[in-house]
Amino acid sequence: MPEIRQLSASVINKIAAGEVIERPSSVVKELVENAVDAGSSRVDVSVEKGGLDLVRVSDNGSGIEQEQLVLALASHATSKIHDADDLFSVLTMGFRGEALASIAEISHLTMTSRTVENDAAATVESNGGRLQGPRPIGAPVGTSVEIRNLFFNTPVRRKFMRTPQTEMGHVSEAFLRIAIAHPDIHFTLRHNERAVHDLPPVDNWKQRLTAVFGRELAEHLIWIENSDDETRLWGFVADPVYHRGNNRMQYLFLNRRHIRDRSLQHALGEAYRGLLLHGRHPVAFLQLEMPPNVVDVNVHPSKLEVRFENSRRLYSQVLGTLRTKFLSTDLTARVEKPDVEPSSGNIPSAVSGGPSLADSLDRQNQSRLDLDYGPRPEVDFGGVVPARDQWAAPLGETGRPLHGVGVASNVGGDGEIAATNDTMPPDRTAGDISARLVTEATYTFQGMQAHNRYLITESEDGVLVIDQHALHERILYERFREKVLSGKLEVQRLLVPETITMTPSEVAVGLENKDLLHELGIEIEHFGGDTLVINGYPTMLAKVGAADVLRWAIDRLIANNGRAEKRDLIDEILHMMSCKAAVKAGDPLCAEEITALLEHRELCQDAHHCPHGRPTSLVFSRQELDRRFQRI
């Protein structure tokens, strides 16, 4: 029979250390948290060799009485909670009382502390858990903890340590997570005697974020705020033009403690859906404030993860707040300082010599657009077309309006558009174009095409250069999505069903996803063997061709290989469909197509990004133009 024995305190501490102290950065986290809990206004962290040789954290906080110093190093000894009920009202960063004991067990530790009431400080030492002291020593008010030779007696753990540089990366991250959340405290970090961060106290959060991450980020931050009876959510998210290749610049704090939460991270991703390119991640700094009794922080040894009582509501709060903010924010990429970073890729070259409006008109007949325009522009905007009766543009001899340069106004909220102020006599012909161009000035400029790919127009803020493909794609995507989500997608039933032969695996994937394809308006059946029959497909894709639509969709399904959620998949296929159906770069557009596109831009929820997240437009602000022409 195996004998049951009580483990020694030393073994218990080593086990706890195994959980809490993974690497030098864990020591930094625990010591800096203690310094913050002690009410310090200044915390200095000094590290050598990535923390493997030394971690020293000094603060000017409350200090510890000499007779309590030894107790502070004992396991399960804490001044932060007294009984189990206190667990539901913890607002300090620590409360488990095991950090110092764990660290002392696996390192050479020296702790020196002095309270305001005492003239002298006291110091204790621990050599792998064997204590010496306390003895008096001269030191300022506050506490200084020095950890040398971490893991010296746990060689297995020591072996897992990476290079000092990598460890320093973790240290820096642990330090910043706390420093960011406490802008009122002066924090410094040094590595091998060199200053890494010096963060003096500031009065607002943005200043601390700027000090840590730089001015460029700060310029892209958007303030968000939302409260319900229980939770206050506030902080900053970055404009979608500022993004990252990983999610490390997403900081979430709960009552000033850095936490990780998959669900809220997902909400963040959802909020940016369609605003970022695939594989790019949003940047966000979010603070949650809620009463401690609605969240359990005691589920993870280093308290990185917590359990919310109402996580669903929180999810919606984060998603809703961000979405609402984005809808009311002008996210158009701004071209403010073209001469600062001329090669950044975001800056368009000056538009010159682009085709004139007359050129556009002359090309009407050769238009390769997937746009059917009859007597009025009937651009395929997914069912929303400018209302015929209200379209006052006169007709030329081709039966088309000669121009679409009237002032457009949005009548009613349902997407109907009317052109007004268009007083061209109805008997004008194409021959009058040049004459008309002379009088063009009497019309409000609506837009023109340049290089067969960009639309140029003005807004209150300045001059906009719009990517025609990206914009049309965005418009179609939003219409598609709205219709698919509301189940109102028009489906064109094929009188003669189309058959399409594919590989056996393509056929299988198609049939497996029959319902999903149906939701997207693609109706298929098995014809037998390697052949599928298409009975119907979205009317909006009429000009693309049923077989192509199905092939693309199945390609996406295969590429995805069951990894994405259904919603993501639908979204991806919608992107693809919109992309295929949209006008291309290089397609000449006639004036009314330009007008119609620009008008629909106004109706877009997010006219600033194509569904892949590329910007659809750039703004040359009036201010910037004035500056460049030396008017100011």
Q: Which of the stretches 93-101, 342-350, 394-402, 532-540 binds Mg ion when contact is defined by CB under 5 A?
A: 93-101
Residue 348 is a binding residue for ligand ADP (CB under 6 A)? no
29, 178 Cβ separation under 8 angstroms: yes
CB-closest chain residue to ligand ADP: 94
Q: Does 36 bind ligand ADP (CB under 6 A)?
A: no
Choice between 301 and 401, CB closer to ligand ADP: 301
**DSSP label at 569?**
H
CB closer to ligand ADP out of 59 and 571: 59
For Mg ion, which is the closer residue by CB, 99 or 283? 99
Alpha carbon distances (Å) from 504 to 534, 550, 558? 16, 15, 12
- From the number of C-beta atoms within 10 Å of its C-beta (0-12, 13-18, 19+), residue 165 rates as exposed
Separation between Cα atoms, residue 122 and residue 141, nearest integer Å: 11
Rule CB under 5 A: is residue 538 a binding residue for Mg ion?
no
Q: Which residues are CB-neighbours of 567 under 8 A, at least 6 positions away?
A: none
How far is the C-alpha of 152 from the C-alpha of 150, rounded, in Å?
5
Please, what sign has the CA dihedral across residues 483, 484, 485, 486? positive
Point out which span in 8-16, 60-68, 252-260, 427-435 binds ligand ADP (CB under 6 A): 60-68
Interaction partner, residue 382 (ligand ADP, Mg ion, none; CB < 5-8 Å by kind): none
Report the SS3 class of residue 346: coil
Cα-based torsion angle of the residue sequence 127, 130, 134, 135 in order, rounded to the nearest 10 degrees: -60
Q: How many residues interact with ligand ADP (rule CB under 6 A)?
A: 23
Binding mask 16-55 for Mg ion (x = CB under 5 A): ------------------x---------------------
Q: Binding partner of residue 196 among ligand ADP, Mg ion, none, CB under 5 to 8 Å per kind?
A: none
Residue 372 carries which side chain, given as an amino acid letter? D
Of residues 70 and 241, the one with the C-beta less far from ligand ADP: 70
* Residue 179 tokens, joined: 């420093």
Q: Which of Mg ion, ligand ADP, none does residue 80 bind to, with CB < 5 to 8 Å depending on kind?
A: ligand ADP
Least gap, CB of 179 to Mg ion (angstroms): 17
Tokens of 626: 């004035």
99 forms part of the interface with Mg ion (CB under 5 A): yes
Indicate which single residue of 27, 35, 209, 554 sits in contact with ligand ADP (rule: CB under 6 A): 35
> Between 38 and 224, whose beta carbon lies closer to ligand ADP?
38
- Does the protein bind Mg ion through residue 301 (CB under 5 A)? no
Part of the chain binding Mg ion (CB under 5 A), chosen from 94-102, 217-225, 301-309, 528-536: 94-102
CA 612 to CA 476: how far, in whole Å?
Answer: 13
Cβ atoms within 10 Å, residue 435: 10
- State how far the Cα of 126 lies from the Cα of 13, in Å rounded to an integer: 13
Cβ 186 to ligand ADP, closest distance in Å?
15
Pick from 404, 399, 398: nearest CA to 417: 404
**174 forms part of the interface with Mg ion (CB under 5 A):** no
Q: Assess 473 for contact with ligand ADP (CB under 6 A).
A: no
- Ramachandran assignment for 74, one of left (phi > 0), alpha (psi -120 to 50 degrees), beta (any other): beta
CB of 34 or CB of 143, closer to Mg ion? 34
37 versus 571: smaller Cβ distance to ligand ADP: 37
Rounded to whole angstroms, how far apart are CA atoms 216 and 431?
52
Q: Closer to ligand ADP at the Cβ: 109 or 579?
A: 109
Using CB under 6 A, pick the residue from 13, 25, 26, 34 that binds ligand ADP: 34
> Would you give the binding string for ligand ADP spanning residues 62-101, x where CB under 6 A is met?
xxx-------x----xxxx-------------xxxxxxxx
Interface residue with Mg ion, options 61, 94, 274, 282 (CB under 5 A): 94
Residue 472 half-sphere exposure toward CB, CA atoms < 13 A: 28
Using the rule CB under 6 A, is 129 a contact of ligand ADP? no
Asked if 539 contacts 492 with a C-beta cutoff of 8 angstroms, the reply is: yes
Whole-number Å distance between alpha carbons of 630 and 318: 44
Q: What is the largest CA-CA distance in the chain?
A: 108
What is the contact surface with ligand ADP in residues (CB under 6 A)? 30, 34-35, 38, 59, 61-64, 72, 77-80, 94-101, 143
What is the contact surface with Mg ion in residues (CB under 5 A)? 34, 94, 99
